[in-house]
């Protein structure tokens, strides 16, 4: 199964509640997938800086070591803000190459979950309520966010198999379904310079969209192209720095509900996920059409 | 009227209360509030009672219904009225995929649209949709009537056995072995009755009827491409 939630805020007054609303929505979807959970939040960012979300199996020692190493190597101020098994490293653009070298050479056990100007990704094995609590998602504010609770089908129940997947700066994707041509596509993407970290089918979809956008497509066009190149079952919810998109495959077995008011656009695998949102009684609520791209932009 | 608030009463308890009503119950009118998209609401009922659900529901609302009249004042998730036996389900809003799947009897009236696979494998149920229906509707339909006032999506009636499909709007495409058929006076009278029962204001003469060409009943090597 898997459960997906997403929230794209239109009314700035609601941005402070993004984490809170998204958390409640995701917990409601727990029984669609208890294996692991993850969330992407598009929050604040500083100009000329990149936020890199890293995860460690041994956060108690590794993040201190990382801070120490960075202090000796980076030229400009940086931050390593630990949140449970993750740390958000804020690094000046001109130091990113050095940062990447350090991770590669000295911290091979660290996983990079995401990078971008505003996006942060947190994901772990466990129930949504536990994952949300350990990262303090409720307290986060932002312009849009996407959450996923996973029932694993195509690859192992490990942190790196959890969603959202990010394969490009400020880009993320969550997926309910299964792709049948992901091995071929993974090889094609590798030829085109998109390297993927896992054997997960959903990461291939994320990589595919990244590749399309690298070649000039906007999010809507990239999603449109995926209809002819991806084979299998999918409901995708995707985010970019200022965009939010939804797409279901033409067979559309996987459930999806959209709601829109003057204040927000909300996505839920089921209507249950949306019932706590403000003004939902008067929202426009509909089931997204099969094979039709839905796309909002700030 | 009995009122049950799902904020106070557990779903299983609610269904047990409703399922406990017999043919001779005096409590014939029920209202359920705060459904909040719950699954399997008012399933397995078997009494001539009226149940009104104030709000939208999740999966399988009114499944296996016998005798009861269930009204949903909202929209319903996948599988509404699945395997319904008799009685009536009235949906004020939209229905998600496979509405009325495998239904054996009774009437399912949907005031809004129904998504894909509406009436899949229907076995005697009558379904009236005031709006449109999605793709693969009435797939392998065996018996009963599907009435659509709006449009039908791709592959309507694919691999249909016996059932009448009445559509007033456009049919994007017909599935394998589904063809347009003559509308006889008997069909018009039957359709008028269904429209009236479902509170649908439409002229029976404005519909087209579709059904089985009966060419896939037995394997014929010339039809291999259609399977």
CATH class for domain B2-226?
Answer: mainly beta
Arithmetic mean of pLDDT over chain A:
96
Residues from chain A that touch B38, judged by Cβ atoms under 8 A, are: 272
Tell me what pLDDT residue B227 has: 66
Tell me what pLDDT residue B218 has: 78
Best residue of B135, B136, B158 to probe chain A, by most A CBs closer than 10 Å: B135
Domain ends where: A69, A90, A117? A117
Q: Are residues A17 and A137 in the same domain?
A: yes
**Full-prediction pTM beyond 0.90?**
yes
Q: Do B97 and A255 touch (CB under 8 A)?
A: yes
Per-residue model confidence as pLDDT tens for chain B (227 residues): 999 999 999 999 999 999 999 999 999 999 999 999 999 999 999 999 999 999 999 999 999 999 999 999 999 999 999 999 999 999 999 999 999 999 999 999 999 999 999 999 999 999 999 999 999 999 999 999 999 999 999 999 999 999 999 999 999 999 999 999 999 999 999 999 999 999 999 999 999 999 999 988 777 888 777 66
Q: Please tell me the distance in Å from B98's CA to the nearest CA on chain A.
A: 10
Residues from chain B that touch A275, judged by Cβ atoms under 8 A, are: 36-37
**Is 70 exceeded by the pLDDT of residue A43?**
yes
Range of the domain at A36: 3-44+122-297
Q: Are residues A167 and A241 in the same domain?
A: yes
Tell me what pLDDT residue A61 has: 95
Catalytic residues of A: 2
Q: Do B38 and A272 touch (CB under 8 A)?
A: yes
**Is 90 exceeded by the pLDDT of residue A107?**
yes
> Rounded to an integer, what distance in angstroms lies between the CA atom of residue A205 and that of residue A194?
11
Answer for the pair A234, A249: CB distance below 8 angstroms, yes or no. yes
- Determine how many CB atoms are found less than 10 A away from the CB of residue B136: 23
Indicate which CATH number applies to the domain containing A105: 3.30.70.340
Q: Are residues A79 and A221 in the same domain?
A: no
> Rounded to an integer, what distance in angstroms lies between the CA atom of residue B2 and that of residue B104?
29
Residue B9: helix, strand or coil by DSSP?
A: coil
Among A235, A244, A57, residue whose Cα is nearest residue A160: A57
Q: Do A252 and B58 touch (CB under 8 A)?
A: no
Q: Are residues A258 and A141 in the same domain?
A: yes
Domain ends where: A117, A141, A163? A117
Q: Please tell me the distance in Å from B6's CA to the nearest CA on chain A.
A: 13
Which of the 8 DSSP states describes residue A183? H
Domain ends where: A117, A145, A170? A117
**Is 90 exceeded by the pLDDT of residue A65?**
yes
Q: Do A286 and B97 touch (CB under 8 A)?
A: no
Q: Please tell me the distance in Å from A258's CA to the nearest CA on chain B.
A: 12
For chain B, the residues whose C-beta falls within 8 A of a C-beta of chain A are: 36-38, 56, 58-59, 75, 77-78, 94, 96-97, 115-116, 134-135
**Is 90 exceeded by the pLDDT of residue A155?**
no
Q: How many domains does chain A have?
A: 2
- Determine how many CB atoms are found less than 10 A away from the CB of residue B170: 11
Tell me what pLDDT residue A17 has: 98
Q: Are residues A56 and A75 in the same domain?
A: yes
Tally of CA atoms within 13 A in the half-sphere of A285 that contains its CB:
28
> Rounded to an integer, what distance in angstroms lies between the CA atom of residue A163 and that of residue A236?
11
Q: Are residues A65 and A33 in the same domain?
A: no
Q: Are residues A165 and A243 in the same domain?
A: yes
């Amino acid at each position: 199964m898997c459960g997906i939630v997403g929230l794209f805020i239109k009314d700035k007054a609601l941005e402070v509640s993004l984490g809170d609303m998204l958390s409640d929505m995701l917990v409601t979807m727990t029984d669609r997938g208890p294996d692991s959970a993850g969330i992407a939040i598009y929050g604040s960012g500083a100009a000329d800086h990149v936020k890199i979300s890293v995860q460690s199996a041994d956060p108690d020692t590794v993040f201190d070591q990382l801070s120490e190493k960075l202090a000796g190597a980076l030229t400009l101020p940086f931050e390593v803000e630990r949140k449970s098994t993750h740390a958000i490293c804020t690094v000046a653009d001109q130091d990113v190459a050095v940062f990447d070298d350090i991770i590669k050479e000295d911290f091979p056990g660290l996983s990079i979950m995401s990078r971008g100007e505003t996006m942060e990704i947190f994901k772990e094995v466990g129930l949504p309520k536990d994952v949300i609590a350990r990262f303090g998602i409720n307290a986060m504010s932002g312009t849009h966010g996407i959450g996923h609770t996973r029932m694993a089908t195509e690859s192992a129940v490990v942190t790196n198999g959890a969603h959202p997947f990010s394969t490009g700066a400020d880009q993320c994707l969550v997926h309910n379904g299964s792709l049948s041509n992901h091995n071929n596509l993974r090889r094609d993407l590798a030829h085109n310079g998109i390297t993927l970290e896992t054997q997960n089918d959903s990461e291939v979809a994320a990589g595919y969209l990244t590749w399309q956008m690298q070649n000039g497509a906007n999010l809507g066009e990239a999603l449109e192209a995926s209809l002819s190149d991806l084979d299998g079952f999918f409901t995708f919810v995707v985010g970019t720095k200022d965009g939010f998109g939804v797409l279901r495959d033409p067979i559309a077995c996987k459930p999806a509900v959209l709601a829109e008011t003057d204040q927000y656009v909300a996505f839920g695998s089921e209507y249950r996920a949306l019932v706590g949102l403000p003004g939902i009684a008067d929202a426009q609520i509909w089931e997204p059409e099969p094979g039709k791209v839905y796309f909002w932009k700030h | 009227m009995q009122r049950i608030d799902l904020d106070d009463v557990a779903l299983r308890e609610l269904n047990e209360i409703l399922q406990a009503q017999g043919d001779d119950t005096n409590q014939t009118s029920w209202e359920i509030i705060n459904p909040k998209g719950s699954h399997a609401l008012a399933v397995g009922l078997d009494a001539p009672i009226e149940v009104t659900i104030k709000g939208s529901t999740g999966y399988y609302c009114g499944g296996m219904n016998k005798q009861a009249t269930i009204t949903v004042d909202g929209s319903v998730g996948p599988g509404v009225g699945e395997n319904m036996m008799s009685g009536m389900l009235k949906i004020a809003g939209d229905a998600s995929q496979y509405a009325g799947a495998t239904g054996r009897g009774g009437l399912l009236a949907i005031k809004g649209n129904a998504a894909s696979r509406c009436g899949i494998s229907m076995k005697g149920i009558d379904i009236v949709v005031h709006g449109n229906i999605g793709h693969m509707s009435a797939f392998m339909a065996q018996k009963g009537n599907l009435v659509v006032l709006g449009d039908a999506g791709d592959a309507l009636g694919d691999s249909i056995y016996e059932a009448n499909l009445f559509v007033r709007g456009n049919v994007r495409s017909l599935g394998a072995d589904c063809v347009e058929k003559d509308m006889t006076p008997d069909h018009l009278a039957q359709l008028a009755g269904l429209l009236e029962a479902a509170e649908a204001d439409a002229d029976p003469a404005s519909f087209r009827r579709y059904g089985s060409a009966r060419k896939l009943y037995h394997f014929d090597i010339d039809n291999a491409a259609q399977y």
